[in-house]
Amino acid sequence: MTGIAPPPSAGVRRSILLATSTLAVLCMAGTSPAAPQPFVFSEGGRARAAVVIPKDADEGTRFAADELVDYLNRITDARFTIATAPLPGWNTIHIGRPYKTDRYEEFMIKASDDGRTLELAGADQRGNVYAVYELLETLGCGFWSPDNETVPHETNLVLTAGFSKRDAPALSYRNVDTPYANLAFTLKLRANAQRHKGEVRARLTRMGGDASENIMHTLHRKGGWMWDGTYFKDHPEWYGVALKQDKETGEWVPGDR
């Protein structure tokens, strides 16, 4: 003869409910995402991260890595290294990995949520350098003049958990009509052109190149972009009116019409 079990007592029902609730909480805790961790550069004056660049890194990327290591060493009293692959047990600072964007000279800085990887990348060589200087400014550096800068001292250097930044210059061409005495300071200002290159051209190439174009005399005095010998015959309206003459000429600046 088959019997029907009596319903559980109130005490047993409470125990079952408590056990079920506890199991649900544990399951939820096990599936919830972990909080982002800070990126650690150094602890107690000892490096905890290595800078990693591609094996075939261009000169601008190598310059960016050298600059970052130099300033991190000065900030922390540690000795950072540059490698071409992540080092086991070390956090990784990637510089110069492929980065696709439609914005000219854009750069990005992004820390992974687990705090093990920091990505610095740019749309081009100068973008990589800009990313490095932006990171250094975030860490407390200030670049005021070629011979005046602020470099903080912090042996336990960390970056805010989940840090992420993406930016691009508002203007494509950024320069003043004078040579810069310190080429690295040009980049720290996010300027991208050196009008009077001459003997510094090779150094500019090593530091990410130069964006200058000969647009100073575009229209007048046989300008660099719109040479009158090429364009004046078909487009005299592109050029100015010669003073005291009622005709177009390729030898004068644009005048009132």
Nearest alpha carbon to residue 211 among 121, 135, 111, 130: 130
Q: Is residue 191 part of a domain?
A: no
- Counting the structural domains of the chain, the total is 2
Q: Kindly state whether residues 160 and 220 are assigned to the same domain.
A: no
Q: pLDDT tens string for the chain (257 positions)?
A: 455 556 556 655 555 455 555 555 445 555 566 899 999 999 999 999 999 999 999 888 999 999 999 999 999 999 999 999 999 999 999 999 988 888 888 999 999 999 999 999 998 888 899 999 999 999 999 999 888 999 999 999 999 999 999 998 887 777 766 556 667 788 888 887 665 555 555 555 555 555 554 444 444 444 455 666 677 778 777 666 544 455 544 454 444 43
Based on the fold, state whether residues 143 and 249 are members of the same structural domain: no
Residue 161 sits in the same domain as residue 43: yes
Domain membership of residue 234 as a residue range: 215-257
- Pair 76, 163 in one domain: yes
* 234: in domain: yes
Instruction: Give the Cα separation of 151 and 131 in Å (integer).
Output: 17
CB–CB of 88/55 below 8 Å? no
Could you tell me the pTM of the whole model? 0.68
Sign of CA dihedral 155, 160, 164, 165: negative
| Coil vs helix vs strand at 215 | coil
Q: Are strands 39-40 and 158-159 parallel, antiparallel or unpaired?
A: antiparallel
Tell me the per-residue pLDDT of 156-201, one tens digit each, with 9 for 90 and over: 999 999 999 999 888 777 776 655 666 778 888 888 766 555 555 5
DSSP 8-state symbol, 212? -
